[in-house]
Structure 1
Amino acid sequence: MNLYDDVKFIKGVGPKFEEKLNKCGIFNALDLLLYFPRDYDYIEDNMSIESIDENEKIILTCRVCGIGKTYRTNTRKLLSQIIFTYNDVTVVGKWFNSPYVVKSFKDNETYNLLGKFKRIGNRIEVINPQIVNKECVTRNIVPIYPLKGDLTSKSISKIINNVFNEISIEENLPAKILKKYNLCSLEDAIKEIHFPSSKVSLQRSIQRLKFQELFNYSMKLLILKDKFKHNNSGIAFKISDELALLKEKLPFTLTKAQSKVVREILIDEKKHVPMNRLVQGDVGSGKTIVAIIAMFNVYKNGYQSVMMAPTEILAMQHYEEVKKILSPFDVDIELLTGSTSAKEKKRIKEKIRLDMPVIVVGTHAVIQEDVVFGKLGMAVTDEQHRFGVQQRNRITSSNNKADVLVMTATPIPRTLALYLYSDLDISIIDELPPGRKRIITEYFREQSRDDAYKKVHSELQGGRQAYIVCPLIEEDTDKKLNSVESLYNELSQGILSNFKVEIMHGKLKPKEKDEIITRFKNKEIDVLISTTVIEVGVNVPNASCMVIENSERFGLAQLHQLRGRVGRGKYQSYCFLIANIKSKTTQRRMEIMTESTDGFYISEQDFKLRGTGEMFGFRQHGDSGLLLADFIEDIDILKAAFKEAGVLLSSEAEEIKKLCMSLEKSLVKSSRFICFN
């Protein structure tokens, strides 16, 4: 069997099973091997009553001694109960909203129950336990896979085992590196992550795979950097005489930081080597105008530019700003997004195929296969971490002469940026436009949250608007977190009942989200309760305050990004953080947010706090290609992997060169950074 063989060729996979796997993004044997468990059950079998830990799942072999009736609780849930005995102790099994479960049990029969058992007085209780078979009982660590439909972790484990019976995995790191960092083989790592033999071996496998990911990530970036370095076939643009006139006609004066970055970009544009530059700038620092100036110069040289944004609403904002800034000049500007009409798409695609200058602003729609630029001179991607290396390169793959400008408002610690963006030259806009009022940030403990909403009420009475952000869409009783829906019910019927309140979340269709944002911008909505979908790009100058519920659940970088949605107009703005503070670290994080609005300072503080084991900071998104590693938490692995990748690529040894070539081919084929030769 080949790793790239279709899943239908795996023993035990029929047409229906294949369809279910496809829905999980599993199309071949490699996809299956890289479909890692999201968690594990660490199971102890038939423990003594005294050693039961209610936070850990265990298996108890219990005998049924009574089957109770199913009835409705005060909260309208269906409750089914079965009474068991275990070593002469009464065990009460409770199942909610599962009336059919009682049919699975027979009086006086013995069953292996898997669950979290809790001692209450002289008896034991367990909620929604599973019946497990003897095969499961023999395994102490059981993988839990991310599932869709009626797939089960057991069925996935079974076919993964069938794949291991058919293939062997070739090692793709030199023995010297494995020995130096005490890493297990790639084959052992893949096997152990799916079928752990012990906690120690599982940790070793995860360590190896994290190293593999970050090593391959580093390899890819260093190879890209080398290619750019030796690519002398770029376009050497002239500096247009009209640039001075454009700067004169701007409705504001560029800051010193903006002017410095513009100079760096224009110097790059004059070179024969294609530009590959990252512009880091805090929220509201004016990155977009820098990109517009760069694209304007390319346009005046007779070339095309494309600016790609992660969302339609942000693409529309950029399009409107580009049109406004360049309105005194005769510049052809187009907007291409997923909701552009078929007729318009056809017209725009036909236009950009021609050898004619144009500035195109769009979303992922501009990197589809049927979008071909006839004379691309510059590609600008906004919010870098939402696209990742893969998509960044797709836009220039057939236009390798084009300059690349990447913009991000995510302040990344300088130490980390050296590794994450080693293929890019970095420019930093570390200055906000003059006159911008500092956002006043306060944090409130959970018991004082009413005080925060009184302040919101005051702002709304003054004609302003407000955002309220929470971590969940629907109520989750287990986690005790506020949700969009529960807050809407509480606030729209309570303290904010005199105002128009609306909700927005990630489950809505893009068009629905855009309509809500448009209504919010047009002041048809006073309060927008949302999940973090408003994190990027939404610009509503009249919105002067934000409440972030359960602030302890967000990383500092994300809190800073969210806060950046207010303070974009002439009004004094506020950010109120409501947090369940249970540790000094959480309190310190809230204090950092109140101390500073400087994203770079916050990112450095975030970086210093990373060792506490809590979830902080910059988080890569799904399109980064990383499955296990985390840039912040695994910075030490990243440093080591980056160093070893550099050593390998500079090696003259024939064996190492062959290994590098093989790895490079695998990286080209794969969208992930764990790949096999």
Structure 2
Amino acid sequence: MAEVKKIENLDTIKKAIEVEIKHHYIDIAGKKCAFSKFIYDELRQIAKLDPNNPKWEYLYNNFERYAVADTSNRMKCIKQLIKHLQNPFSEEKLIETPKKAKTTSDKNPEDVDVMYVKGVGPKVGFLINKLGIFTAQDLLHYYPRKHLDYASRTQIKDLKVGQEATIFGVIKSTNVFTSKKRSNLTIISIQVYDGTGTISASWFYGKSNKFMMDRYKSQYPQGSNIILSGTVKLDSYSGKLVIDKPQSEILGGDFEEKDSLHVGRIVPVYPLTENLNIKTLRRAIHNAIETYSDGIEDFIPDYIREKLGLIDKITAIKQIHFPDSSETLQSARQRLVFDELFLVQLRLALMRKQYKSDTEGLVLNIKKDGLLEKFIQSLPFELTNAQKEAFNEILTDLSTPEPMQRLLQGDVGSGKTVIAAMALLAAVENGYQGAIMAPTEILAEQHCRNFTDWLTPLGISVGLFVGKHGTKVRRELYQNLKNGQINVAIGTHALIQESIEFNNLGLIVIDEQHRFGVRQRSELKNKGTNPEMLTMTATPIPRTLALTVHGDLDLTIINELPPGRKPIKTALIGPKDRKKAHTLIRKEIEKGHQAYIVFPLIEESETLSAKAATKEAEKLQNTVFPDLNIGLVHGKLPSSEKDKVMEEFRAGKYHILVSTTVIEVGVDVPNATIMVIENSERFGLSQLHQLRGRVGRSQEQSFCVLVGDTSSQETRERLEVMVQTNNGFIIAERDLQLRGPGEFVGTRQSGLPDLILADLIQDAEMLEIAREAAFNFVAKDDISKHPLLNKIMNQKIDEGLELIGAG
């Protein structure tokens, strides 16, 4: 009798998953270790019980990376874990009915283990599992990363530089050798002849021994038929044409082979794992389509699909894998991209609808000659048109009973704080209190200074709530807030302490909203009865990203600088020209101004960064600016010390502030007119733009000098964007194109949706179409009439958790 396998700590694992989901995937710390470490260790133990099953290795590798993954990938890890724990040793049950599973074409592909797809079997199935594919459904949705057009051959004699080409030929020679210039580089070079000419292609590997070199050579046997695809390039050494970064396939049979998945057509190229052949995977996917494609369900309502001219789901799946033409491939991709983006937008539209139906908003009306009008009249400057439009949008929200759901985006120095003050005054004018929560004490204090200057003359009381207050001051502030004597509370996380009570909280402003979690925002909201909430960010977010991450919110953008502000003059120089930057600093200081010199964080260690900045500050003080006062802030300084130095710099004690990238967004020192950013190539464009925004905060001309290693053309072109424009939204779009959405400021915390085919840059137009379709659907249709779509939307991450251990 076979030994029954049993997971020892199944209940504990289940409980840990429940706690992690409840706390929004923060990799919660347990008594002994973090959640991800606990699950990783448990999965290693389970893998020992079931050594021949690669799914455990796949899962524990995922949890090894969990601590550094973003929210959407953490959710995906947990979803897969739950799925596998429901039936942990499933092969024993499935093997009883392999024939039925193999031949039942009407079977739901979700219920078919991938090993029972024709042409797979246990051995190949285990390799395919390493790609995260466990069912026929997974296989159908394992989309190609690219396609090669083997339908159209190009003759070698007709090739032109820069052309994307596919060549069918015979390998005339294969050569494997170690580079003369770099001993750790192995090169394979082949010569291919097609009857009209010869061309070479090369592949590069790390240092190899003779055994490995012979193995590489055996992959390209002389006399074999080969298909080569890639870009035609002129080799600077030989002066001859070569195929750059070639994709290749060796063909066993003839080029004219009929009904082949691999030649004479547009063929799919998939990410692979070791020992898994591309042809084997192609054949498996083709067989899955042939057998199970009728089981693919289409969740997009027919009337939406027909209105937008999209093809049906089954055709889309077939054509994304094995397209009949480039046109059908494009149609398939459009349909599947729409599906992904529609689901993202539908979830946001439903969230928005539910929030509006579950939450009552306050109705705030503005009085003629009231506080708000007096405040606007008292300002020493005229509001820009963009500020007026932004406030009108906010005012429209506040005057209706529906709760406000708005994100106010403003470029650096565009005047968001004034808009926040006006919104808070609207609440005060209607008998409510207002609150603004900032991520750091220095920003909270800055807001407090501005608000006190603006609001005290109107008889409005402002209170500052930060962690460093003594007991006596704190007690007095708490009492004044509770009895309503404080009209506007400004603070950090200190505002959400249990002991803080408002008399009648009516409006909340969250500054730099991506720095706060959902829980922190809701804790502040719970201190009032349905207070309105306005979120703000000084980080320009490209529209496509904003619609994807913050799509449940209305977006208001201030993209106009106050009059009189001069654009910051930006220059890019190499390290050899650093003296020019120092000369410019001295000139500005002679005019009575101040300067920043910023160094990048060293990723491996904040301690190393602090040491490097300290060393550079000493060098600048001793050798470059011995007659000037230099202050220093870095990440290892305690908050109180950091704030003290910043205050002293603001007060003029230091001529120059040397800093790692801890200068806060929003820090306002109008007298600082020059910033030098060292090693600027290490920063993202959006980060450089935020740093540059610390100068140019007065009507004086300001300067930013980027000191960087510009030997790489790519780096130079990237940094030139900063020289060409001061517009944060243009810079943000370029940053998104260069770095992709996963690295973009603030999105890791918010959690980007898991997009497989869709690309937020390439598919910006389709995103707008999907958003309109989703929001129209929620406004005019009833999702309960569409069972499959309803099921997808109601699918919770913890669905199936109760089934773990139930069998």
Name the TM-score, length of structure 1 as normaliser: 0.65
What is the distance in 1 between the residues matched to 2:530 and 2:419? 21
Of Structure 1 and Structure 2, which has the larger fraction of its residues in helix?
Answer: 2
Equivalence map 1:226-245=2 (5 Å): 226-231=353-358, 233-241=360-368, 242=370, 243-245=372-374
1:663 corresponds to = 796
Cα drift, residue 470 of structure 1:
1.1
Structure 1 residues 573, 394: closer, same or farther in 2, change over 3 A? same
What is the distance in 2 between the residues matched to 1:338 and 1:214? 43
User: 3-state DSSP class of the match of 1:317?
Assistant: helix
Preserved contact between residue 356 and residue 375 of structure 1 (Cα < 8 Å): no
1:465 corresponds to = 594
1:583 corresponds to = 712
User: 3-state DSSP class of the match of 1:346?
Assistant: helix
Preserved contact between residue 469 and residue 532 of structure 1 (Cα < 8 Å): yes
Deviations 1:48-87 (A, max 9, x none): xxxxxxxxxxxxxxxxxxxxxxxxxxxxxxxxxxxxxxxx
User: 3-state DSSP class of the match of 1:328?
Assistant: helix
Preserved contact between residue 482 and residue 550 of structure 1 (Cα < 8 Å): no
Deviations 1:388-410 (A, max 9, x none): 44433332246462211111111
1:332 corresponds to = 461
User: 3-state DSSP class of the match of 1:494?
Assistant: helix
Preserved contact between residue 557 and residue 617 of structure 1 (Cα < 8 Å): no
What is the distance in 2 between the residues matched to 1:216 and 1:453? 54
Consecutive unaligned residues in structure 1, runs of 5 or more = 10-21, 38-138, 149-159, 190-196, 205-212, 667-677
Letter in 1 for 2:692: R
Match of 2:552 among 423, 445, 455: 423
User: 3-state DSSP class of the match of 1:275?
Assistant: coil
Cα drift, residue 513 of structure 1:
0.9
1:224 corresponds to = 351
Match of 1:31 among 30, 35, 40: 35
What is the distance in 1 between the residues matched to 2:360 and 2:474? 31
Cα drift, residue 590 of structure 1:
1.5
Cα drift, residue 628 of structure 1:
9.6
What is the distance in 1 between the residues matched to 2:529 and 2:575? 53
What is the distance in 1 between the residues matched to 2:33 and 2:345? 25
What is the distance in 2 between the residues matched to 1:361 and 1:491? 38
Preserved contact between residue 37 and residue 64 of structure 2 (Cα < 8 Å): no
Match of 2:579 among 435, 447, 450: 450
1:289 corresponds to = 418
Letter in 1 for 2:732: S
Structure 1 residues 487, 539: closer, same or farther in 2, change over 3 A? same
Deviations 1:240-291 (A, max 9, x none): 3312222111111111111111111111111101111111111111110011
Preserved contact between residue 472 and residue 482 of structure 1 (Cα < 8 Å): no
Letter in 1 for 2:622: Q
Preserved contact between residue 610 and residue 634 of structure 2 (Cα < 8 Å): no
What is the distance in 1 between the residues matched to 2:482 and 2:469? 18
Letter in 2 for 1:620: G
Structure 1 residues 236, 579: closer, same or farther in 2, change over 3 A? same
User: 3-state DSSP class of the match of 1:410?
Assistant: coil
Does 2:744 match 1:618?
yes
What is the distance in 2 between the residues matched to 1:474 and 1:592? 24
1:349 corresponds to = 478
Q: CA RMSD in A?
A: 4.9
Does 2:628 match 1:499?
yes
Structure 1 residues 501, 368: closer, same or farther in 2, change over 3 A? same
Cα drift, residue 655 of structure 1:
6.8
Structure 1 residues 464, 628: closer, same or farther in 2, change over 3 A? farther
Deviations 1:181-205 (A, max 9, x none): x97469x99xxxxxxx95799xx9x
Cα drift, residue 437 of structure 1:
1.6
Deviations 1:364-403 (A, max 9, x none): 1112344343422111011122224443333224646221
Cα drift, residue 581 of structure 1:
2.0
Preserved contact between residue 471 and residue 483 of structure 1 (Cα < 8 Å): no
Equivalence map 1:207-606=2 (5 Å): 221-231=348-358, 233-241=360-368, 242=370, 243-354=372-483, 358-397=487-526, 399=528, 401-472=530-601, 483-606=612-735
Name the TM-score, length of structure 2 as normaliser: 0.55
Does 2:15 match 1:5?
yes
What is the distance in 2 between the residues matched to 1:544 and 1:562? 12
Structure 1 residues 273, 334: closer, same or farther in 2, change over 3 A? same
Q: Which has the larger radius of gyration?
A: 2
User: 3-state DSSP class of the match of 1:608?
Assistant: helix
Preserved contact between residue 544 and residue 760 of structure 2 (Cα < 8 Å): no
What is the distance in 2 between the residues matched to 1:165 and 1:282? 44
Deviations 1:540-574 (A, max 9, x none): 11111101111111111110000000111232211
Cα drift, residue 489 of structure 1:
3.0
What is the distance in 1 between the residues matched to 2:750 and 2:383? 33
Residue identity (%): 37
Preserved contact between residue 397 and residue 403 of structure 2 (Cα < 8 Å): yes
Cα drift, residue 340 of structure 1:
2.3
Structure 1 residues 30, 483: closer, same or farther in 2, change over 3 A? closer
Q: How many residues align?
A: 516
User: 3-state DSSP class of the match of 2:566?
Assistant: coil
